[in-house]
Structure formats: structure tokens, C-alpha cells
A and B are shown apart, each in its own frame.
Chain A
């Protein structure tokens, strides 16, 4: 690791001010990707501005038709929150399956979605549930927020402060992990909203990060069952390929995980 200066922000405004002063700063929110990258000398920020101590960015609240989760909330807190387990069981089980216990106790919702690793789990939940991302500057939909691989709509000094997840009537997440890293090779979040709207979002497999599968959404809207998606496959041409799985294999996993997610959602 190269030398860096660590700052602990007390408020969102404080964080923005610290970042403005930094020569080449990075926000730190759990650091489960950034710190290992720095240790490998692949990133060398001059300053780290830690967001985890900002009170206004933590906590989980039930807002009736939605659940609001502060961006600095850890995966463990989401996984074990009764509010989340009751309101959006698919989201709780997704958080419980991120990384390992050490990662879940340090990694945060805001950190994960701001990094937008194409194999991260959370983007699938945000897109499938039609979540709203609130930042230090604005609110935007999940569809607008995720732009591409490791790319979001965030500006340099913009901080995700919370995410609001509408409560679905049914939801579940199924992922097939990369054998080595245990990141998602294909993770599918299915959600049926109270109005009957169905959304299916896929992470881990797409070349541009999270994406929706319109054909599965249509099929599930008329028939909410695993069989409805069994015959739907995504175009392998748009999928990632690496030593762990070809695009063809990932396309198969998307269909299999979609079936399993629908079955788990009941």
C-alpha cells in the first residue's frame, strides 16, 4: 500500500469538505474492495474520507410502503434486520449471502452500489425493486443510477446517503457464486410489486453490469412460476466470459437462477 491520509467524516457536509481539500481523494465506506486494491498497489488515493461514522447515513427505517436504509449500513445489519426480513425477505437473504462474515460486518450498502462491481449482489435488488437512491445532491432511480461496469451516475464529490426500497408482495434472490471469489457469476433478483408489476434484474453476468430481462418479466406477469421462466434465455452475446464461465454458461445460469429465485419467492 502506498502512503495515504485517513479522515473520518462527522457529517455529509464534513465529508464533502474533506474531499474538496484532498488532492486525489476517495470516499471509504467499508473498504471491502478499495482496501485490497490499495494493498495490491493498484489504487493510490492521497486521502481516504471515511463515511462510516456519519450518523445520518446509518440505520434502517420502515416507512410504510418502503424501507429506507442508510448508505453506511453494513450488510450484516441489513441481513439481520427484522424490518428487512419481514418487509423484503429477498433483500435480507441477499445481504446474508454477500462475501463472508468479515465482509458483511464491514461492507456497506452505499459502498457496494457506488463501486458497482458487475458481480456485486446489491445492484440486482435495487433494480428489481425499483429502489430510489438518495445522494448528497439529489434522488434518482436505480435504473438511472447504474450506468455500466464500475460506473454510476455519481459525480466525483457526490455521496450516496440512503436507498429507499419499495416493499414487494414477493421477492427472492438466487445467485451462483464464482468458485474462487464467491462473487456472483449470475445473480437474479425477482420481485412482484404490490401493484402486480414484475421486475427481474441480473447481476454478475452482464458486460455492462446489472440488467433487466424484459422477456422474463412479461412471462412472470402472466404466470408467476418457475416454469414460466424455464424457457426464457438471455442473449449470451451480451454476457461476460472468463476462465470461470463462458457467456453460454452464464446465460444458462441466468435462467436456472431465475427459476430458483421465483421458486424461493413462493
Chain B
């Protein structure tokens, strides 16, 4: 590929195998004597299991076993857990109900597994699963989180009375209330953040292989963090100790958060493999993905923003009810608390903030982190409030934001976060210029002459990425540390393997990470291999989520590279009889400054391994490892500007222009970053206009297939205009902030602000479907006429 260092738009090394169909995914793994699993799932949202009759299924061709929750519990397999402890404001720990990988007693959402069939082929397993007769006594179901807290609502778990998991708060309530006493203007809104289904292109899958001679398990699975999977499977689910469990996450086709978590199916596959003495494969179909992949968002909030007479924000008050579904998924508790309310200050200098969050059980699919995880919910709330407040006080939304921007750093917000660096005016200026904000009135008038309604909306987002440092998240309740590790292994002939605990499932690590080595040693990226996704190969890792692979994962690589470079220089200095300080690395060679003496990187690597002539006391080899634990979160930020045109006859929204001005700090590969932003923006626009996981009152998922769940398609989105500005992140050696989630975090409010501007009606929920926009625009026209 060439020597592509930091800043190069290198083409992705991994794309050759993806584009030619030669990626190796979990479903591509075929092991000798492998059997297939098919799950028997509840058709009810809430029911008692009164009997399971597997006799007909067991008599069917190819069926090896039908296993139930009773057997699973009997074998000592542990309950699924939530790994982040959140305490209610009264100090009590969160109320977590029991979640079994196969439920023997009470099912709590449609699609929950009660039994599994193991058979010779997938078709046989599925046929037999249909033949397992499960008797249910239906119980009343509840799907709305606010209604679930009311007296008389159906109760899901005995541990959580009124279905309340926690009643948590952040910020200074007294100070915030005092600010509201002084307010010259208060903006109030009820805001719903719609529930989403993650929909990665590759559905989840698992191949479990138990070796009884060594009492050892191998699990191939669709994971964003195989080491965390191994840790949780070992520590909590009693599957096997870590040294008896190897987890491999090979090529993975998208995750968006949904593949962070450990699900019942992987646990059951491992357990069943030992039970039947054969490898067991399970591959989710799309219906199972809709019903069992952790959903995202689903907040109902009331927010109040207090302004002084000069339109400076003096207080922000938020009450949120978060629907966590039927069970607490692995990191679910952290999403509506520490990943959400800590970002409620936005890009603004707000002296007093108070937020109260109630998390609630309902008879729906569990909810957990989905691209952005809490930060999109915060951004939508803050940026809808900012736009609305500006309109109410008669300021331009841009000027109102500018009036309240944070401008000195570090900036301590009232909600834990300490912003390290940023320039919010720079991204706002860049976005306004690129979208020709000044020319908007003329475009609006021209659109009106064609019978169309034009609108402009802004969103000035901030997010906290990296999801670290370990001590900080530990103090907030995280059950794990959130550092990253790397090993740089220089081979005797000078090629390099980088072993990383980050996991690539679409992010392009094999290219971006190799560019770091190219930059440092002047080597071709083709001489570098990135190794990830296998607990037997990579020493340890915390995986990829929260836009952390750059800021945390690559920082660990940099630390290891520092050690490799230092040792290589020592060897070169020794061989060339020069001072170590005079050795410079350039173009793949180690040179003695000011002379023509030089050695190729390969010669130095070979010398390290032949060990014939090393400095006194030096160990042979050229291989170094490092762990990196950041000092703070990183704070990517930017301004998104969206211009829409509405067809008032049908309510159809067309996004005619979308500008994203992002400050991601240092960027390694701009092309890959642009791809990340494109994907994020499209998911955010999907949330704003199209996507919605809708349940009926009985708890059936109404949007359970692509016939009804609207994924964004190419013709739903515009050709994006992307810009970047740069303030260097002081918290890591590369100055990186992260880019993976920004698009999904920042775009929904920009779209809704634009539509509500166009239709002259601020009362509009996501997704802004054509009918909703049509209804709201008719009301808007009426208001304008009155």
C-alpha cells in the first residue's frame, strides 16, 4: 500500500477481503461433528411457563437434545448480570431482577428463550423447535415506562417494586432551583427519545466447542470485546475459568454497541456444547435480531431551561424516565446515568444543573448502549431546548448558542465532566459558512414559490469518549477497568505485528493502526499486521465501543512503540558505535545524525534476534507491550447544520443540505473518519425521520421486520458536506478525541430543529414520519394564519 503515515487517506487494507466476499465471520466457522441450535422463544410479553413438552421434538429426525432452563439452572449456570452498579439518590443499590439464559418460570418479553433444540442441521433444529410445546399462563404486560411505575401496573421482578430499578440524581438540586427563582425566562419541553433496533448487517452468532479431554471451551462469537466476554462468562456465568475458555471474535459485520453485551444465546451454546459433546452453532435470523439484540434509547423527559435577562443560561433541570426493558443488560444502568446526564451541560457554560433519572422495567426487549449510548439522548434534549429557547426569546439560534458557549479550558461542568479542550465558535462558524446560512432566507423564499417549506436547524453537540479513565469509571460504579493494551512484535526480518485489545467490526483498524507504525518507522503499511479478536493471541483488552479505539487503543500502541523505538535505537547505536541520542529513524532506516552511517530497520530487527552482538546485558528480541489508562474522557464536539424542504401535501421531508463540522482532535486517516461520520449521520437521520421500535399494548413488537421498521436508505440521505477543525486533545499522546459516534449523537436535533423551523410548529416527535410532519405542518400553518 505504501508508506502512509498520520493524515494519509490510505485505502483500507481489509476491504480486499470484504469486497471479494472472503471475510471470515462466525457463521463461516464449520467444525467437525458440529450441531445446530434453535431456540424456543416466548410468543408472549409476560407469562408463566407452566410446562414444556419436548417429546415430539425429540422424536424428530436429527434431534440430539432439547434443553430447558431447569437443566441450565441445575447445572449451575449463573444469571446474566449488569456490570455497572448505580445507586439511587437515597443510597440504595439498583434493584436487579434475575435473568436466566433460558427462563424456567416467567417470561418477560416476546422472544425470550425458554428452551433450545440441538440437531444435526439448522433446518432440523428449527423444525423441532416449532414442535416443542410450551404451556403458558399469560400475565398482563406493560410496555410504557411511565405507566409501569404507576400503582396497579403489572410487576416484572419481585426485586423492583413499581418496576423501579433506580431513582438516581446528579447535580445540585438546591442551586438549580434557586437559579429558576431568578430566571427572566424559562423554556419547558417534554421530549421523547424513540427506541431503536441496532440492525448490524451481520446478525449475532456463536459457535461453541467443548473439548472434554482438556475441559476447555472455544467460543467463536460476534463480539466487540472478546476479552470482556471471556471475563464475564468466567466470573459470573460459571461456564469455565478464563484459562479454560478461549473467545474468538473473527470478522464481525457491524456492532453499534449491540455486540458489546453477553447474551443468553452464547452462554447456552457453550453449555449445550458440553452437554451434547459436540460443537454447537447458533446464528440469529433477522426476526431474532429484532426481538433479542439490545435496543437503544427510549427516554421520556421533561426539561426546563432558565435564562437571565441577558439570555444567559443560569439553570437546567431535567427529569427522565428510561425504559430498560425486561432485564438489565450488561451496561444498561450506565447509559441513562453516567453516559447521559453527565453531558447535559452541552457546549455551554451552565452554572447549575440538576437531573433526576428513573430507570424502569417493562415487558420489552432489554435496552443498552447503541451508537452514542446516552450522549445522543443528552444532545437531543440540550439542542432541542437551545433551539426552542432561542426562538422563544427571539434570538437567532446561532447567536443564542454563541452567547452561552464555554470558552475557557479546562472547564468543570456541574455534572462531573471536565472539558479539556475545544473551540466551539470554530465549528459553529465553519458550519454556518458551509451551509451558507446568510443565504437561507432567499432559499426559503424560493422554495415557498414552489409550494415547499424550507427550514434550517442547528445542533452543537459534545460527547465524552474513550470511556475511561479506569479509576474514574470505577468510582462511578463500573465493574471493570477501561484501559487498553497493545503489544508491538517486530519479527526478525523487520515485519511487524501489532496485537491490540481493540476490536474492529467495521472501523478500519487494520489500516489506521498500521499507519501509526508507518509514521514512526517509515515502513510500508503492508509490512504491518494488526492482530485482534482472539483471547489466545492478544494478551488482554477491553474492546471497542464509546469511540475509544483511537484515543485509548492507539495510545497503548504508541506506548509500546516508544519502547520498541528506544530499544531499536540502543541496538543501532551499539552496532554503529554511535551515541544513542544521535540515532534518527527515517524512511525505514536508523541513521547516525550528521554521518552517512545507517542500518535498515530489518538489519536492526535481525540483530535483536540473532543476539550475536547486543549491548551488554540487553535481552534478545524486539517485542514490547503496554497498557494505557487515560487521564480523562475525550470531548469531541462540533456543529451540525441541516437544511430541509418539506412537501406540505404529503409531509415528506427532504434533507437538501447537511453540513457536519467536527473537532475530533488529531485525525490519522481522514477517509476512514469521513466514513465513520457518514455512517453515524445516516443512523442519526434514521432516528430522526424513520426508525422506531413500536410495541402494541400487549407487548408485541409491531415493527419486527423491514416491512415496518424503516432503515435509512441511500435515497433518504443527502450527500454530506464534512469539515473538520482541530483542537488537540491534551489527554493522550496522539491528541485524538474519537469519531465513531459523533454523527449519530449530533444529527437528530439538527434534523428536528430544521423541520420544526420549516413548518412553524415546534411540537414534533421522532421519528418525524411523513404523517407526523403533515399533521404538524397543518397545525403550524393554522397557527401562522391566526
In Å, the complex CA distance between A94 and B649 comes to: 21
Interface residue stretch chosen among B103-111, B365-373, B493-501, B705-713: B705-713
Are the C-beta atoms of B771 and A249 separated by less than 8 Å? yes
B301 within 8 A of A: no
In Å, the complex CA distance between A41 and B130 comes to: 10
Min Cβ gap B184→A in Å is 41
Contacts of B651 in A (CB 8 A): 249
B727 within 8 A of A: no
Are the C-beta atoms of A244 and B650 separated by less than 8 Å? no
Contacts of A176 in B (CB 8 A): 650, 770
Chain B residue at smallest Cβ distance from A40: B287
Contacts of A3 in B (CB 8 A): 123
In Å, the complex CA distance between A243 and B769 comes to: 10
* A-contact bits for B695-720, CB 8 A (1 contact / 0 none): 00000001101111111000000000
Min Cβ gap B382→A in Å is 28
Are the C-beta atoms of A179 and B710 separated by less than 8 Å? yes
Most chain A CB inside 10 Å of its own CB: which residue of B127, B709, B710, B770: B770
Interface residues on A, range: 10 to 19
Are the C-beta atoms of A252 and B710 separated by less than 8 Å? no
Are the C-beta atoms of A180 and B650 separated by less than 8 Å? no
Are the C-beta atoms of B707 and A252 separated by less than 8 Å? no
Are the C-beta atoms of B649 and A243 separated by less than 8 Å? no
A18 within 8 A of B: no
Are the C-beta atoms of B707 and A181 separated by less than 8 Å? yes
B123, B126, B287, B707: the one contacting A180 at CB < 8 Å is B707
Contacts of B692 in A (CB 8 A): 243
Are the C-beta atoms of B774 and A179 separated by less than 8 Å? no
B126, B127, B769, B775: the one contacting A179 at CB < 8 Å is B769
Min Cβ gap B743→A in Å is 21
In Å, the complex CA distance between A41 and B710 comes to: 22
B530 within 8 A of A: no
Min Cβ gap B223→A in Å is 27
Are the C-beta atoms of A243 and B694 separated by less than 8 Å? yes
A1, A180, A245, A256: the one contacting B709 at CB < 8 Å is A180
In Å, the complex CA distance between A180 and B199 comes to: 14
Decide yes or no: A249 and B774 within 8 Å by CB, A41-B130, A243-B694 being known contacts. yes
Min Cβ gap A107→B in Å is 16
Are the C-beta atoms of A244 and B707 separated by less than 8 Å? no
Min Cβ gap A173→B in Å is 16
CB contacts under 8 Å to B, within A2-43, are 2-3, 40-41
A1, A181, A244: the one contacting B706 at CB < 8 Å is A181
Are the C-beta atoms of A253 and B710 separated by less than 8 Å? no
Are the C-beta atoms of A179 and B690 separated by less than 8 Å? yes
* A-contact bits for B239-259, CB 8 A (1 contact / 0 none): 000000000000000000000
Are the C-beta atoms of B771 and A181 separated by less than 8 Å? no
Min Cβ gap B717→A in Å is 13
Are the C-beta atoms of B706 and A179 separated by less than 8 Å? no
Decide yes or no: A244 and B708 within 8 Å by CB, A179-B769, A252-B774 being known contacts. yes
CB contacts under 8 Å to B, within A40-58, are 40-41
Are the C-beta atoms of B708 and A256 separated by less than 8 Å? no
Contacts of A253 in B (CB 8 A): 650
Chain B residue at smallest Cβ distance from A245: B771
Contacts of A252 in B (CB 8 A): 649-650, 774
A246 within 8 A of B: yes
Contacts of B774 in A (CB 8 A): 249, 252
Contacts of A180 in B (CB 8 A): 690, 703, 706-711
In Å, the complex CA distance between A40 and B706 comes to: 13
Chain A residue at smallest Cβ distance from B706: A180
In Å, the complex CA distance between A246 and B130 comes to: 35
Contacts of B708 in A (CB 8 A): 180-181, 243-244
In Å, the complex CA distance between A41 and B771 comes to: 32
In Å, the complex CA distance between A41 and B692 comes to: 25
Q: Is the interface of B mostly helix, strand, loop or mixed?
A: loop
Most chain B CB inside 10 Å of its own CB: which residue of A179, A181, A252: A179
Min Cβ gap B774→A in Å is 6
In Å, the complex CA distance between A3 and B123 comes to: 9
Contacts of B650 in A (CB 8 A): 176, 252-253, 256
Are the C-beta atoms of B769 and A244 separated by less than 8 Å? yes
CB contacts under 8 Å to B, within A207-266, are 243-246, 249, 252-253, 256
Min Cβ gap A188→B in Å is 13
A1, A244, A256: the one contacting B771 at CB < 8 Å is A244
Chain B residue at smallest Cβ distance from A1: B123
In Å, the complex CA distance between A145 and B708 comes to: 29
Contacts of A245 in B (CB 8 A): 770-771
Min Cβ gap A230→B in Å is 10
Are the C-beta atoms of B703 and A243 separated by less than 8 Å? yes
Min Cβ gap A57→B in Å is 29
CB contacts under 8 Å to B, within A161-186, are 176, 179-181
CB contacts under 8 Å to B, within A136-195, are 176, 179-181
In Å, the complex CA distance between A171 and B516 comes to: 62
CB contacts under 8 Å to A, within B642-701, are 649-651, 690, 692, 694
Are the C-beta atoms of A2 and B127 separated by less than 8 Å? yes
Contacts of B690 in A (CB 8 A): 179-180
In Å, the complex CA distance between A249 and B777 comes to: 13
Contacts of B707 in A (CB 8 A): 180-181
* A-contact bits for B71-82, CB 8 A (1 contact / 0 none): 000000000000
Chain B residue at smallest Cβ distance from A252: B774
In Å, the complex CA distance between A160 and B692 comes to: 39
Contacts of A249 in B (CB 8 A): 651, 770-771, 774-775
Most chain B CB inside 10 Å of its own CB: which residue of A40, A176, A180, A253: A180
Are the C-beta atoms of B706 and A246 separated by less than 8 Å? no
Are the C-beta atoms of B287 and A243 separated by less than 8 Å? no
Are the C-beta atoms of A179 and B770 separated by less than 8 Å? yes
In Å, the complex CA distance between A3 and B711 comes to: 31
Contacts of B710 in A (CB 8 A): 179-180
* A-contact bits for B86-129, CB 8 A (1 contact / 0 none): 00000000000000000000000000000000000001001100
Contacts of B127 in A (CB 8 A): 2
Chain B residue at smallest Cβ distance from A183: B707
In Å, the complex CA distance between A2 and B127 comes to: 7
Chain A residue at smallest Cβ distance from B712: A179
Are the C-beta atoms of B649 and A256 separated by less than 8 Å? yes
In Å, the complex CA distance between A176 and B650 comes to: 8
In Å, the complex CA distance between A36 and B710 comes to: 18
In Å, the complex CA distance between A3 and B775 comes to: 47
* A-contact bits for B272-289, CB 8 A (1 contact / 0 none): 000000000000000100
Contacts of B694 in A (CB 8 A): 243
In Å, the complex CA distance between A252 and B709 comes to: 23
Contacts of A243 in B (CB 8 A): 692, 694, 702-703, 708
Min Cβ gap A36→B in Å is 9
Chain A residue at smallest Cβ distance from B705: A40
Contacts of A181 in B (CB 8 A): 706-708
In Å, the complex CA distance between A180 and B651 comes to: 16
In Å, the complex CA distance between A40 and B692 comes to: 22
Contacts of B711 in A (CB 8 A): 180
In Å, the complex CA distance between A179 and B769 comes to: 8
In Å, the complex CA distance between A176 and B123 comes to: 39
Chain A residue at smallest Cβ distance from B709: A180
* B-contact bits for A93-135, CB 8 A (1 contact / 0 none): 0000000000000000000000000000000000000000000
Query: B interface vs A, CB < 8 Å?
Result: 123, 126-127, 130, 287, 649-651, 690, 692, 694, 702-703, 705-711, 769-771, 774-775
Q: List 15 A-B contacts (CB under 8 A).
A: A1-B123, A2-B127, A41-B126, A176-B650, A179-B690, A179-B770, A180-B707, A180-B709, A243-B703, A244-B708, A244-B769, A245-B771, A249-B771, A252-B650, A256-B650
Q: A179-B769, A243-B694 are in contact. List 15 more A-B contacts (CB 8 A).
A: A3-B123, A40-B287, A41-B126, A176-B650, A179-B690, A180-B690, A180-B708, A180-B711, A181-B706, A243-B703, A243-B708, A244-B769, A249-B774, A249-B775, A253-B650
Q: Top 6 nearest A-B pairs by Cβ distance?
A: A180-B710, A249-B771, A256-B649, A181-B707, A179-B710, A245-B771
